[in-house]
Amino acid sequence: MKILETTNIVPIIIVILIGLVILLVAISIRVVPQAHAFVVEKFGAYHKTLGTGIHFVFPFIFRISKRISLKEQVVDFDPQPVITKDNVTMQIDTVVFYEITDPKQFAYGVEHPELALEKLTATTLRNIIGEIELDATLTSRDLINTKMRTILDEATDPWGIKVNRVELKNILPPKDIRDAMEKQMRAERERREQILRAEGEKRAAILNAEGIKEAQVLKAEGEKQAKILAAEAEREALIKEAEGKSEAILKIKEAEAQGIELVKKAGADKAVLTLKAYEALVETAKGQATKLIIPSEIQGMAGLVSAISETAEKTKNSK
């Protein structure tokens, strides 16, 4: 009876042991995601760092003490009161971009690394702002960011942290300083506006003067051109008139020459020519001339005509 009971217990124990082994294997398998690292301790001391992939961590001996993200992280710290070199108190809040480069140093270098980074950022900011004045603080953000990044990166290197970038998010001076700055900016804008308006008026006056000058030049050139054209037109008219008179005289002379030529062809003797000359003399005498110069040939012809007239009158009376 006892032998039967013993044979029934053995399979149960084996099943239990197999189950325990399977459970032990299951809880010993660890999968590390991408961009993460696990810090493993052996009996409370650092053993190794697990990277991305599947790992076997035997329980009770090894323990995963810290799971660390290797991605770049952003921390926005609350505004910190700082005092400038010229004793102006203002509030400045910062944004720090960092990443973990050494998981072991990050796990064992400092307690609460983010809190330590915040305090270090605040003290560094106070030291830097305390060396410059208010105006330089407002206009030198890039310089302050660069200095802070260099100091923080060097200080956090033993913690396994690399500071990639530091930005001053807000710079908030006291209210009276802000009011004075607003008045100053308003006055500066008004001054710039007056300067721009004066420059515009100056430019407009210059353009107006240039336009008037150009208009006067164009007007003078137009009048000059008009006078030139008028003179040329008058000259052309005189030339045309002279050409017309010359052509008329030429026509008259040609007509006279043709008349003389016709008379010659008709065989007119000297008496006829003399008579024609007398007729021309008579026509000339009808004018307003007070003196007439009569050629000798015409005078002889006049005497002959007078003698012929007397002879004809005597013959008539005798009858």
274 vs 141, higher pLDDT: 141
Classify residue 34 as exposed, middle or buried by CB count within 10 Å of its CB (0-12, 13-18, 19+): exposed
User: Residue 132: helix, strand or coil by DSSP?
Assistant: coil
pLDDT in tens, 127-166: 999 999 888 888 888 999 999 999 999 999 999 999 999 9
Contacts of 170 (CB under 8 A, 6+ apart): 79, 91, 92, 93
Return the percentage of the chain with pLDDT > 90, whole number. Answer: 29
Rounded Cα distance between 37 and 34, Å, is 8
Q: How confident is the model at residue 279 (pLDDT cuts 50, 70, 90)?
A: low
pLDDT of 26 strictly over 70:
yes
Please give the pLDDT value at position 135: 84
Q: What is the largest CA-CA distance in the chain?
A: 228
Q: Output the CA–CA distances (angstroms, integers) from residue 56 to 29, 53, 75, 104, in the order listed.
A: 5, 10, 34, 19
Return the percentage of the chain with pLDDT > 70, whole number. Answer: 79
pLDDT of 280 strictly over 90:
no
Q: How confident is the model at residue 275 (pLDDT cuts 50, 70, 90)?
A: low
Please give the pLDDT value at position 316: 54
Please give the pLDDT value at position 317: 59
Q: And the tokens for 270?
A: 């000297």
pLDDT of 284 strictly over 80:
no
pLDDT of 274 strictly over 50:
yes
pLDDT in tens, 290-307: 554 555 554 555 554 454
Domains of the chain, each with CATH number or no CATH: 2-69 (no CATH), 73-173 (3.30.479.30), 268-313 (no CATH)
Which of 5-9, 187-191, 207-211 has the lowest average pLDDT?
5-9
Please give the pLDDT value at position 1: 46
219 vs 312, higher pLDDT: 219
232 vs 264, higher pLDDT: 232
Q: How confident is the model at residue 272 (pLDDT cuts 50, 70, 90)?
A: low
Strands (E), the chain: 29-32, 36-42, 45-50, 53-56, 62-69, 73-76, 80-83, 89-100, 161-172
Nearest CA to 138 among 96, 196, 177? 177
As a whole number, mean pLDDT of residues 13-36 equals 86
As a whole number, mean pLDDT of residues 205-218 equals 86
Nearest CA to 35 among 84, 98, 97, 100? 100
pLDDT of 289 strictly over 50:
no
Which of 93-97, 208-212, 272-276, 305-309 has the lowest average pLDDT?
305-309
Which of 26-30, 223-227, 271-275, 293-297 has the lowest average pLDDT?
293-297
Please give the pLDDT value at position 36: 94
pLDDT of 190 strictly over 70:
yes
CA 278 centroid distance within chain:
98
pLDDT in tens, 212-254: 888 888 888 888 888 888 888 888 888 888 888 878 888 787 7
